[in-house]
Amino acid sequence: MLIDLRSDTVTKPSPEMKQAMLNAELGDDVFGEDPTVKQLEEKIAAMFGMEAALFCPSGTMTNQIAIKAHTQPLDELICDKICHIYNYETGGWAFHSGISIRLTDGDRGRMNASQIEELILPDQDWLPNTRMVAIENTVNKGGGSIYSVAEMKTLSDFCRSKNLIYHLDGARIFNALSALNEKPEALHSMFDSISVCISKGLGAPAGSVLAGKKDFIKRSRKLRKVMGGGMRQSGILAAACIYALDYNVERLKDDHSKATELAETLNQLAWVNKVLPVETNIVIFEVADAAKVAEQLSKENIRIQPFSPTLLRMVTHLDFTDAMLQKAKEVLIKLKL
């Protein structure tokens, strides 16, 4: 039994999801003729109270398109120093959009209004134009930390008062909503744009959706094409995403309780220095030598992700079963370091 806790992207489509893909009605989506893609886009737009949405191959693309569509060169984006947009999208903000970035030092990736306010620049020839704020919910590198609905709303009001565009990198927004016992409706009219990944905890093989106003999505469609993301019969993927939204949202709570159990086990181990508080499906913990721990675990058929020389990450997901949880706990307890 191989236990893969490196990411919630490692899940494989279930037989039921594959059946939904086989049954999908298809067309050429570059011509705007794939009914299943349209259905997915309308579903996400309605859920999050947006006018329109756009299906893309990845969350990197939805974030990068959003930045490009909202900004022009000499603009600046404010985000947190540990966020995905800054760290893990290959510096795409500079490559695609020619903008600069200014970083907050938030609470496990969560920014507050006063931290943002300090970074807003005055209108001077020698300074970039502060244009946009992007938050991440949940925060991956923060150990799946969550912004509450009230915190997201406070930042929304703040951004509006400062005339700043407000984007949500919601790669794991359904994990956040599940942990908060909230529905996507809670986010209506807060954000200028929202990016949602269906290929993470929700278990689709690929696909993210960008939602926003009609004219923003129209510009985003053109940007998707120039970035090479115009797909043809992509309804076959959209069908998996629709299936995931219909069947895999409620069960996210299981992933969260398994992550909590893993953290409880880790907290009892002498070789673990620290475990970040677990709020959703991500467990980040600190050890003396992360590579060594990852290697020892891989010998026991458990794969986890070193995040730095001393940090490791485990992510629970729908292919991580109860039996795997028991086995993982046993191996962790027995590990000799």
Residues forming contacts to ligand PLP in the complex (CB under 6 A) are: 58-60, 63, 84, 136, 140, 169, 171, 197, 199-200, 208
**Which residue, 170 or 184, is less far from ligand PLP as judged by CB?**
170
CB of 59: closest distance to ligand PLP in angstroms?
2
**Which residue, 240 or 272, is less far from ligand PLP as judged by CB?**
240
- Looking up tokens 């954000």 gives 191
CB of 137: closest distance to ligand PLP in angstroms?
9
Using alpha carbons, select from 186, 189, 91, 79 the residue that is nearest to residue 140: 79
**Which residue, 249 or 331, is less far from ligand PLP as judged by CB?**
249
Helix (H) / strand (E) containing 93 = helix 92-97
Gap between the Cα atoms of 87 and 83, Å rounded = 6
Gap between the Cα atoms of 65 and 60, Å rounded = 8
CB of 327: closest distance to ligand PLP in angstroms?
26
Return the number of other C-beta atoms located less than 10 Å from residue 118's C-beta: 10
Residue 134 main-chain phi, psi, to 5 deg: -125, 125
Gap between the Cα atoms of 137 and 282, Å rounded = 12
CB of 206: closest distance to ligand PLP in angstroms?
8
- Looking up tokens 């893909």 gives 21
For the chain, list the strands marked E by DSSP.
Answer: 3-4, 52-56, 75-80, 100-104, 129-136, 165-170, 193-197, 208-212, 274-275, 282-286, 302-303, 305-306, 311-315
Q: What is the DSSP letter of 55?
A: E
**Which residue, 156 or 281, is less far from ligand PLP as judged by CB?**
281
CB of 88: closest distance to ligand PLP in angstroms?
7
200 with 172: CB under 8 angstroms?
yes
CB of 9: closest distance to ligand PLP in angstroms?
6
**Which residue, 197 or 209, is less far from ligand PLP as judged by CB?**
197
CB of 203: closest distance to ligand PLP in angstroms?
13
Helix (H) / strand (E) containing 263 = helix 252-267
**Which residue, 36 or 140, is less far from ligand PLP as judged by CB?**
140
**Which residue, 193 or 208, is less far from ligand PLP as judged by CB?**
208
* Nearest position to ligand PLP, beta carbon: 59
